[in-house]
């Protein structure tokens, strides 16, 4: 079936109101931290590459892309040299990229200067990898940004796409971004360049920030149950926010995207697998138990888990170490957002009265913030397990350093007795700095009385979870710094 050029022009004209002299509609004033990186790669790319925005559904990729459109238009780019097209539109998907470009140029003749192509849902472009490769190699006057589900995109076009695009991976909103989108007025917190700065603070600074941060705690707990998706962050009711999240995850990702992108037929088994993972968020994945409970074969369950990771609904953490021991060991599973499990399991705000569930949600949020901050800098995230099943929740390996994070989201004050796994790992690997993520704002500052052995003195910093997530997600932190 062939789509007429007139029909394509009509669709493209709707998506590109600037061709008629109109502004980009309904853009929020706030910008995500990733906008800076997208703007750089769009306007002054460090290398001749396209840029790929990847992330879960409803995470804000399209909004970020349209903000980039608005930015290049405000910089003086002729409106006819800017194209936005989304390939989940049935006519554009059917017509294909070449017909879309032909219709664009019939509607808007090229003006002098660079051309900017912003392509949404690029996974629906036929032979998209080859097309991007040819564009980057031979169309030097074009800048291309595209969105999609990154893992299937990258895997499908890995061979042809090496060195042809730069990937910006979006997570759900950070706590800092959540506060910005809610437009809340709160006492300003001090800026830090790195978590390492805290080790140089005088005790008076910890007392001062403890008082300033008091209004942030309630908003942090609401953030955990409402979620970091822009749409759910802005609706009034938490019940409605969780319903929207549940519909987007179950109905659109599991039932529609999995079928369209991967040809999944056993949707009910896939849904049951995801529900199982929601019940075990932050835990070690027991494949034997999963397969037994769901009555699915191991290969099927493994395939489902890889698909869920591909669509950015889960993260998998390997154990610390390398070699055969790691290959045989179990992965740790985190959901993409702390609010997903409560929404899918219809728990509402009840997790706030359940210390165990609240601790799991906090650990999930902490991991997401650390991952979002450092993934682009080739940081390897793992968990550690030592003697007597002692554990450390998160271990970041960066520039030859090992930086452990233990989450103790509990009412009691955190002491050395509760940190036997962290102490053991620091002694074993001669680690000089570690972090404990705490619940109470009073549980903030450098720990004293830590056991020391040998020549290595380990310093442990306690940081309340709202503060860590605020600073990790904040624009104040130097985006290029690779420090703990």
Residue-wise DSSP of 3-66: --HHHHHHHHHHH-GGGGTPPPTT--S---THHHHHHHHHHS-SSS-EEEEE--TTSSHHHHHH
Same domain, yes or no, for 126 and 250?
no
Which residues face 456 on adjacent strands?
453
pLDDT under 70 in the chain at which residues? 1, 149-162, 323-328, 449-456, 475-484
142, 170, 198 - which closes a domain: 170
Q: Is residue 483 part of a domain?
A: no
Measured CA distances, 229 to 68, 225, 336, 359, 408 (Å): 20, 11, 10, 21, 26
* Judgement on whether residues 338 and 211 belong to the same structural domain of the protein: yes
Residue 449 pLDDT: 62
Residues counted in the chain: 484
Instruction: Quick: pLDDT tens for 307-366.
Output: 898 888 999 999 998 766 565 678 999 999 999 999 998 888 899 999 999 999 999 999
Tell me how many domains the chain contains.
2
Same domain? For 41 and 182 the reply is no
Q: Are 238 and 163 in the same domain?
A: no
pLDDT of residue 149: 63
Query: In angstroms, rounded to a whole number, what is the distance separating the alpha carbons of residues 272 and 296?
Result: 10
pLDDT at position 326 is: 64
Q: Check whether residue 326 and residue 299 sit in a common domain.
A: yes
Residue 173: DSSP 8-state: P
Is 266:300 a contact under the CB 8 Å cutoff?
A: yes
CA distance 343 to 348: 7
Asked if 61 and 21 touch (Cβ cutoff 8 Å), the reply is: no
Any domain includes 184: yes
Same domain, 285 and 407: yes
How much is the pTM?
Answer: 0.89
192 and 117 part of one domain = no
On whether residue 333 sits in a domain, the answer given is: yes
Query: Residue 478: inside a domain, yes or no?
Result: no
> Would you state the pLDDT for residue 174?
95
Same domain, 134 and 204: no
Q: Note whether 156 and 234 are same-domain residues.
A: no
Asked whether residue 191 falls in the same domain as residue 66, the answer is no
Instruction: Supply the range of the domain harboring residue 116.
Output: 5-170
- CATH code of 166's domain: 3.40.50.300
Residue 56's nearest CA partner among 223, 181, 229, 224 is 229
**283 shares a domain with 189:** yes
- Domain end, chosen from 170, 191, 214, is at 170
User: Are residues 440 and 220 in contact, defined by beta-carbon separation less than 8 angstroms?
Assistant: no
Which of 135, 151, 170 delimits the end of a domain?
170
Residues 6+ apart with CB under 8 A from 353: none
Based on the fold, state whether residues 273 and 395 are members of the same structural domain: yes
Q: Residue 434 in contact with residue 426, Cβ under 8 Å?
A: yes
């Amino acid at each position: 079936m062939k789509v007429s050029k007139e029909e394509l022009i009509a669709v493209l004209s709707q998506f590109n109101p600037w061709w008629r002299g109109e502004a980009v509609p309904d853009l929020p004033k706030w910008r995500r931290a990733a906008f800076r990186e997208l703007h750089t790669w769009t306007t002054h790319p460090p290398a001749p590459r396209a840029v790929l925005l990847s992330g879960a559904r409803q995470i804000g990729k399209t909004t970020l892309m349209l903000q980039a459109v608005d930015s290049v238009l405000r910089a003086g780019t002729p409106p006819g040299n800017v194209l936005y097209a989304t390939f989940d539109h049935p006519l554009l998907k059917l017509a294909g990229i070449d017909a879309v470009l032909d219709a664009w140029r019939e509607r808007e003749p090229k003006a002098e200067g660079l051309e900017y192509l912003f392509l949404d849902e690029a996974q629906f472009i036929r032979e998209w990898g080859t097309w991007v490769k040819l564009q980057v190699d031979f169309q030097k006057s074009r800048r291309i940004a595209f969105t999609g589900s990154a893992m299937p995109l990258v895997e499908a076009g890995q061979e042809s796409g090496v060195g042809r695009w730069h990937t910006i991976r979006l997570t759900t909103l950070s706590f800092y971004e959540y506060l910005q989108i809610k437009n809340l007025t709160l006492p300003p917190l001090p800026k830090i360049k790195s978590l390492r700065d805290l080790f140089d603070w005088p005790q008076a600074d910890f007392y001062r920030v403890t008082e300033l941060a008091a209004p942030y705690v309630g908003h942090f707990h609401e953030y955990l149950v409402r979620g970091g998706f822009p749409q759910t962050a802005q609706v009034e009711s938490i019940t409605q926010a969780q319903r929207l999240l549940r519909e987007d995850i179950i109905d659109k990702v599991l039932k529609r995207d999995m079928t369209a992108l991967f040809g999944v037929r056993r949707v009910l088994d896939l849904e049951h697998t995801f529900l199982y993972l929601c019940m075990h968020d932050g835990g070690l994945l027991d494949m034997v138990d999963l397969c037994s409970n769901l009555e699915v074969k191991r290969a099927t369950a493994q395939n489902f888990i890889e698909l869920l990771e591909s669509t950015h609904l889960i993260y998998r953490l390997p154990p610390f170490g390398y070699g055969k021991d790691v290959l045989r060991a179990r992965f740790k599973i985190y959901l993409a957002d702390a609010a997903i499990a409560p929404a899918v399991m219809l728990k509402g705000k009840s997790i706030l009265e359940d210390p165990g569930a609240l601790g799991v949600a906090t650990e999930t949020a902490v991991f997401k913030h650390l991952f979002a901050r450092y993934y682009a800098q080739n940081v390897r995230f793992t968990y550690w397990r030592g003697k007597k099943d002692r554990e450390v929740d998160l271990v970041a390996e960066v520039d030859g350093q090992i930086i452990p994070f233990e989450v103790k989201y509990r009412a009691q004050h955190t002491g050395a007795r509760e940190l036997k796994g962290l102490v053991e790992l620091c002694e074993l690997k001669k680690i000089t700095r570690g972090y404990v993520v705490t619940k109470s704002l009073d549980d903030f500052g450098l720990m004293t009385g830590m056991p020391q052995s040998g020549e290595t003195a380990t310093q442990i910093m306690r940081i309340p979870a709202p503060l860590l997530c605020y600073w990790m997600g904040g624009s104040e932190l130097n985006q290029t710094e690779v420090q703990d």
